[in-house]
């Protein structure tokens, strides 16, 4: 028991996030619970707009407070509720203990400062070190992110680097202080495919070296298959299925997960149209009364339309479904 408490770096309980738009509030994250342990990669998967990124931002305490607010739940980091921390305490944790890598490395770096000055500034905000010491730490971080000619690159401006190199700089920024938790929000989506693989590889090596707990957000199941230890599938602001990567790919139980996996194009199949899940994500303004997925589910029962299933199960596998199906291939 003691083991488990220490192991869980991030525990989110019943998180609810409301967004204010066009004069009304509505929930985009609806009672989400998950945990990230040290030395593991949890992939959070789901289609665009299901609430993945906003969940990540809420862990960082970086929700745009004028439009989005946490209305319920707690986010525990080593047992301490991040939502109750003061702004300056939260600031101290950022990048020192909990780091985040963003989707678009092109726009995510300040264009008028050199990457060396960005890195050393963040290092010196958290560590009481001199400028040459900070510079050495910056070089170490860049080298760990496998940026070639790290020391010369300190004097480069972001626009002088390629997209892949910039994402390495982002990794260096996020891991320079050896954080316990690393959140990566679609870290490879903006990069081309060959660079994607290198960046993913490097991220996973960094995670293993530093035994970080990593929350990787993606909508790309190929990425999941490559790096994940555990997977949480998110749909319309809720987690619908959670399992180890092996179990999820072999025996997906939720019809939505099955639909996602079924939608992966098979290069061995010569012809035929691509599989897709029929219908659309329900608009968050008017959620359906029953299961969020019922309107698109081919296996929906009467009760699926009337009441919401709960996320049930423990440890390894969790599922939110009244009528799970064995996978038919």
Q: Does 99 bind other proteins (CB under 8 A)?
A: yes
Kind of pairing between the strands at 213-218 and 181-185: parallel
Interface with other proteins, residue 188, by CB under 8 A: no
Q: How far is the CB of 255 from other proteins (least distance, A)?
A: 35
Residue 125, by phi and psi: left (phi above 0), alpha (psi -120 to 50) or beta? alpha
Site string for other proteins, 61-90 (x = CB under 8 A): -x-------------------------x--
- The distance between the two most distant Cα atoms of the chain, rounded to a whole number of Å, is 67
Confirm or reject binding of residue 140 to other proteins (CB under 8 A): no
User: What is the SS3 assignment for 7?
Assistant: helix
Of the ranges 30-38, 103-111, 145-153, 281-289, which one interacts with other proteins (CB under 8 A)? 103-111
Closer Cβ to other proteins, 88 or 268, answer by number: 88
Alpha helices in the chain (DSSP H): 2-7, 52-60, 87-93, 115-126, 131-144, 150-153, 163-175, 193-210, 221-227, 245-250, 255-262, 302-306
Q: Answer yes or no whether residue 125 interacts with other proteins by CB under 8 A.
A: yes
**Smallest distance, Å, CB 61 to other proteins?**
9
The residue from 47, 76, 129, 157 that contacts other proteins (CB under 8 A) is: 157
94 binding other proteins? (CB under 8 A): yes
Check residue 320 and give left, alpha or beta (phi > 0: left; psi -120 to 50: alpha): beta
Residue 74 or 104: which CB sits closer to other proteins?
A: 104
Dihedral of the CA atoms 45, 49, 50, 56 (nearest 10)?
Answer: 70
Binding region for other proteins (CB under 8 A): 60, 62, 88, 91-96, 99-100, 102, 104, 107-113, 121-122, 125-126, 157, 159-160, 170, 173-174
């Amino acid at each position: 028991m003691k083991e488990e408490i220490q192991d869980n770096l991030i525990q989110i309980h019943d998180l609810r996030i409301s967004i204010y738009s066009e004069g009304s509030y509505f929930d985009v994250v609806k009672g989400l619970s998950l945990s990230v342990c040290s030395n593991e990669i949890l992939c959070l998967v789901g289609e665009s707009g299901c609430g993945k990124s906003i969940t990540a931002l809420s862990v960082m305490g970086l929700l745009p407070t004028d439009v989005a607010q946490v209305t319920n739940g707690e986010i525990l980091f080593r047992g301490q509720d991040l939502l109750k921390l003061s702004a300056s305490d939260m600031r101290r944790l950022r990048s020192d203990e909990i780091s985040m890598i963003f989707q678009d490395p092109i726009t995510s770096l300040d264009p008028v400062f050199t990457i060396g000055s960005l890195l050393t500034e963040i290092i010196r905000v958290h560590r009481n070190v001199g400028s040459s010491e900070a510079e050495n730490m910056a070089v170490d971080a860049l080298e760990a992110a496998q940026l070639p000619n790290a020391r010369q690159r300190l004097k480069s401006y972001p626009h002088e680097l390629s997209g892949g190199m910039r994402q390495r700089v982002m990794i260096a920024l996020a891991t320079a202080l050896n954080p316990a938790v690393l959140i990566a929000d679609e870290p490879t989506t903006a990069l081309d495919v060959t660079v994607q693989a290198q960046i993913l590889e490097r991220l996973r090596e960094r995670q293993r070296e530093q035994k970080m707990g990593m929350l990787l957000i993606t909508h790309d199941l190929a990425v999941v298959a490559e790096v994940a230890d555990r997977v949480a599938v998110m749909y319309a602001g809720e987690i619908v299925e959670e399992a180890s990567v092996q179990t999820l790919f072999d025996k997906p139980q939720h019809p939505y997960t099955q639909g996602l996996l079924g939608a992966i194009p098979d290069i061995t199949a010569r012809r035929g149209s691509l599989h897709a899940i029929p219908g659309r994500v329900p608009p968050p303004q008017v959620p359906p009364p029953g299961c969020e997925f019922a309107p698109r589910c081919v296996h929906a029962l009467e009760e699926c339309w009337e009441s919401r299933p709960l996320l049930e199960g423990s440890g390894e596998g969790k599922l939110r479904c009244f009528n799970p199906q064995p996978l038919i291939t």
